[in-house]
Structure 1
Amino acid sequence: MHCEFTDFLHDLTYDDLTPQLKGVAKGWLLDLVAVAACATDTALSRIIRDHAADHFGAGTRTATMLFDGRRVSPAGAALAGGMTIDAIDAHDGHKLTKGHVGCGVLPALLAFCEAENIDDGGDFLASLVLGYEIGTRAGIALHRMACDYHTSGAWVAVAAAALGARALRLDAARTREAVGIAEYHGPRSQMMRCIDHPTMLKDGSGWGSMAGVSAAYLAAAGFTGAPAITVYGEDVSDLWSDFGQRWRILEQYFKPYPVCRWAQPSVQAVLDLRTRHGLTSEAVERIEIKTFHEAIRLAVRHPRTTEEAQYSTAFPVASALVRGHMGPAEVAERSFRDPEINRLADTITFTETEAFNLAFPARRFSDVTLYLGDGRMVSSGPTEAIGDPEVPVSTDAIRLKYKEYTHPVLGADRACAIETCIDSLASGTGLRSLFGLILAPAADAPLQRDCA
């Protein structure tokens, strides 16, 4: 397995990818860029980018922070990019990892490509696919092996280091050291602590990305690490036996709303009821939600920060019922004082349902009942969120979200230029135009329509 892992990591090319894989990779890339652009206005993103500029200064190798323009070390760029994307909880995820691969993998890949002068669009896409394949497997492996529930950064670090080994052309021995260092240094942070007390720590993705980038450069310099048990352990060998045959990138879910995935079945249920029955929030006296344990742990009703709003079930449900939509504006601070949203949030009662608990994490259900002022009650029945891989959303839906998240921040022209560059990525296409558009500050990148 050691040789198979290393060979596949270093040998996969753009031409090895099917048209489906190429299309899905571009879709996730477009979505991640959209979330990153939208997130640049958050306090979390501003703080972490300033921190990277102050404390992760550029050395012999440099990389530019995503939508910032300042050059820092590759590890600093990965840290800032991963935490910026994570600042708005609207990026792709995987059910069995209970976390997110792309959020930490993309900033690491951008940093390696810039620092190592990698300028081929096809190789970039192949590496992005590999990041999803490795990160997803490492995440499932860690959940199997560890008794606690760790954040995505714990296993994103492994994927980031592997991409570094590929970018730096490390041999098999040093590749093994790189992923071993990353797994050892990756943030084994306890996810449920941040669920119960939502803060800017979020899912640890940026810290994992930083640890993975550092691990690759350490391994290149001769630093040694313990074997990565999430990759090389005998008890997880089955997860890696189909490497290159089963494509885990196809198993990621799409998030239509910028809140924790666990809250999204309830949000979807209330939006469905609102549309189906032509309701306004004023007609609703109270709300009853039957769902699974983890969704109920998202317990904030009246958020003071966007982090609390994103890690809540009651607030986004109330907000969606009031506004008929759940987008970035609904988790921004100006929404927290809306009296109608706060009224409805206070009316919500939660019931934990054993059947829904047993279905988790492979499936996430909610059953919402609205009690109306005229004495009627309307129920959603068991509802799942939109965007699961079993029923993937259309390309049009991804592009519509992209426009919603990017146009207010970047302007239509620049957002369109980025979209065109991503659509055009292939072997032989350069990355210079794309990088110029997504690495320059969100407010003033030069417009470049050519993707050569």
Structure 2
Amino acid sequence: MTKMETLAGPKPVFDTSNAWLRGLDAKTMPPEVMTTAKLLVLDLIGVLAAAHRLDAGRIARDHAVRHWAAGPDAPAARIAFDGRKASLPGAAFAMATQLDNLDAHDGWQPSKGHAGAALLPALLALAEDAPELSGREALVLMIAGYEIAYRAAEALHATVPDYHTSGAWNALGCVAMAARLRGVSDDVFRHALGIAEYHAPRSQMMREIANPTMLHDGTGFGAPVGLYAVLIAEDGFTGAPAATVEFDDAEGSWGDLGQVWLTCQQYVKPYPICRWAHAPIDAALGLRAKFNIDPQLIASIDVYTFKYSAELSASVPDTSPKAQYSLAWPVACAFARGVVGVDEVMPKAFGDPDLIKLTGLTSAHVDTALEADYPARRQARVKVTLHDGRSFDSGVVEASGGPDPQPTEAEIVQKFRRFAGSVLSVDQVVELEGIVMGLDGKDADFKALTQLVNKMKIDF
């Protein structure tokens, strides 16, 4: 943080946040917040399933089973769509790494990152060890995680110079969920927040974007660090106060907790690509549909966007992470195929000559007006020129999927069906959708969902 502090005891912001967390009640939660949380869980489950195809997910699952195994007297959890067991942090690591490596999950624009990709894996792991967990309480836990994580993110971005990965702050959301579910003391909760913030991966996001790998957005370690922090704090391990919660220069990020619901201000990605490329994709898809553009006739594609977007890769990818952190590649997919889905970020697509050609014809330019609107808005303009001299301009387009307007329930459900359906049978998709969409029901049992995703083994 910008100014170091020595604290004799909890700051009022901790006491207020702690009381808020303990007092959350599904019965008094605004209905729209519960509904949003349910739809976000559905979306995340679909992305987690589809991500099973990625090498990163396979490596993380195998690694967790071998190296993050639970001891004989320690709680264990199964890995979703796999069924094998690991420790609670190990299972969270495997699922969060898998989910994080398919860049199609929710996010809050001011955070420049994502909470759900850590929260759902942590919740699935925690639920395995819980004696019981109702569907409504599970949604309350997700909401708590979102609200805590995103305020920590806001505080971090406001007080440090580097742009850190989401794992740096979504770990604190995982702590909040675990602390409430496990019923730890106030003191343990405070120490766990401090431990998680201290050990969470404050990794530099732009280094990963410039050199895309399976590290992705740091969430693979955000989730397990959050669970580990609670477990070790329960054993008596202490941690320095969480600066993003208790230091003076973070205080402004917490004043509206319980009044403004950040859970409902998120976007839901329609494409498994870095959010910075979504406005260009939308613009390209719009031009293709409106003018019936034959991709074989394209001479050049110019993308005008904000700085971070323009800095995404312009090369033909040779790995899935490189495809997901690209600008030229997904724009080429939009023009050539009219779709940017899971198949377009898988290795089989990288040899497509049409995609290779169009990627080479795509150039990015920084637009100062669009840069000035970032991060509140993600916008772009695409101009495509044909060999016969005609050109078509999209005008300024804002990325679809929210937050304004929010995606509809039908849009989120359709996305879930596309992603989950890429690896599961129709009957499995229907069964999974039914359980998740019923989580806010009076008798819903979240552990039934964990049992189902552990029974549905995906083989790739």
Q: TM-score, normalised by structure 1?
A: 0.96
Task: Describe the superposition over 1:213-237 as per-residue Cα deviations: whole angstroms up to 9, x where unpaired.
Answer: 0000111111100000111122221
Bigger CA drift: 114-123 or 408-417?
114-123
**Structure 2 partner of 1:348:** 362
The answer to whether the 8 A contact 1:409-1:442 is kept is: no
**Ranges in structure 2 where 5+ consecutive residues have no aligned partner:** 1-12
Question: Where do 1:400-415 residues align within 5 Å?
Answer: 400-415=414-429
Counterpart AA for 2:83: G
CA contact (8 A) 1:148 1:190 kept: yes
Q: Residue 287 of structure 1 aligns to a residue in which SS? A: strand
Per the alignment, residue 450 of structure 1 pairs with none
Counterpart selection for 2:219 from 182, 205, 210: 205
Distance 1:26 1:141 in 2: 27
Shift of 1:441: 4.7
| Distance in structure 2 (CA, Å) of the matches to 1:359 and 1:118 | 46
Between 1:349-358 and 1:148-157, the stretch displaced more is: 349-358
- The equivalent residue for 2:8 is none
Shift of 1:117: 2.3
311, 330, 343: which one aligns with 1:329 = 343
Q: How much has 1:14 moved relative to structure 2?
A: 1.3
Following superposition, the deviation at residue 439 of structure 1 comes to 2.5
2:455 is the counterpart of 1:440? yes
Moved more, 353-362 or 180-189: 353-362
Match of 2:259 in 1: 245
- Give the equivalent residue in structure 2 for 1:44: 56
Q: Equivalent residue of 2:273, what SS?
A: coil
Deviation at 1:442, TM superposition (A): 3.1
User: Would you say 1:302 and 2:302 are equivalent positions?
Assistant: no
CA contact (8 A) 2:128 2:447 kept: no
The alpha-carbon deviation at position 168 of structure 1 amounts to 1.7
Distance 1:278 1:77 in 2: 47
Equivalence map 1:109-124=2 (5 Å): 109-124=123-138
1:127-206 alignment to 2 at 5 Å?
127-206=141-220
SS of the residue 2:109 aligns to? coil
Structure 1 outlier segments of 4+, above 6 Å: none
Distance in 2 separating the partners of 1:262 and 1:281: 23
Q: For residues 313-345 of structure 1, what are the alpha-carbon distances to aligned partners after superposition, in whole Å with 9 as ceiling and x for unaligned?
A: 000000110001111011111111111111111
2:25 maps to 13
d(CA) in 2 for partners of 1:274, 1:428: 47
For residues 420-444 of structure 1, give each alpha carbon's deviation from its aligned partner in whole angstroms, at most 9, with x where no partner exists. 1111113442223211122235338
Q: Partners in 1 of 2:137 and 2:363 — Cα distance? A: 50
Deviates more, 1:207-216 or 1:8-17: 8-17
> Aligned residue for 1:25?
37
Match of 1:375 among 368, 375, 389: 389
Q: Provide the rounded CA distance (Å) in 1 between the counterparts of 2:369 and 2:48.
A: 36
What is the root-mean-square deviation in Å for CA atoms of aligned residues? 1.2
Letter of the 1:23 partner, please give it.
T
Q: Is the 8 A contact 1:93 1:254 kept in 2?
A: yes
Aligned equivalents of 1:419, 1:328: Cα separation in 2 = 19
Secondary structure, in 3 states, of the residue corresponding to 2:398? coil
Question: 1:226 corresponds to which residue?
Answer: 240
Q: Identify the range of structure 1 (435-444 vs 365-374) with the bigger mean alpha-carbon deviation.
A: 435-444
Q: Point out the more displaced range, 214-223 or 58-67.
A: 58-67
Q: Note if contact 2:134-2:447 (Cα within 8 Å) is conserved in structure 1.
A: no
Residues 13 and 122 in structure 1, CA contact (< 8 A), matched pair in contact too: no
1:40 partner SS: helix
Report the equivalent of 1:449: none
- 2:111–2:154 CA contact under 8 A, matched in 1: yes
**Which letter maps to 2:448?**
S
Provide the rounded CA distance (Å) in 2 between the counterparts of 1:106 and 1:432: 13
Deviations 1:72-123 (A, max 9, x none): 1000011111111112100111111100010001111111121132321111
Residues paired across the two proteins, number = 444
Matched AA of 2:451? G
User: Partners in 2 of 1:423 and 1:332 — Cα distance?
Assistant: 29
Moved more, 388-397 or 435-444: 435-444
Residues 260-307 of structure 1: CA deviation (Å, up to 9, x unaligned): 000111111000000111112112111111111101221242100011
Q: 2:65 aligns with which of 12, 29, 53?
A: 53
Given the superposition, is the C-alpha separation of residues 208 and 334 from structure 1 closer, same or farther in structure 2, using an over 3 Å criterion?
same
Whether the 8 Å CA contact 1:97–1:140 is kept in 2: the answer is yes
TM-score by length of 2: 0.95
Task: Give the structure, 1 or 2, with the largest relative contact order (CA under 8 Å, sep 6 or more).
Answer: 2
Kindly provide the amino acid, as one letter, of the partner of residue 120 in structure 2: L
Any unmatched runs of 5+ in structure 1?
Answer: 445-452
Which whole-Å deviations, capped at 9, do the CAs of 1:389-432 have from their partners, x for residues lacking one? 11111111111111111123111111111111111113442223
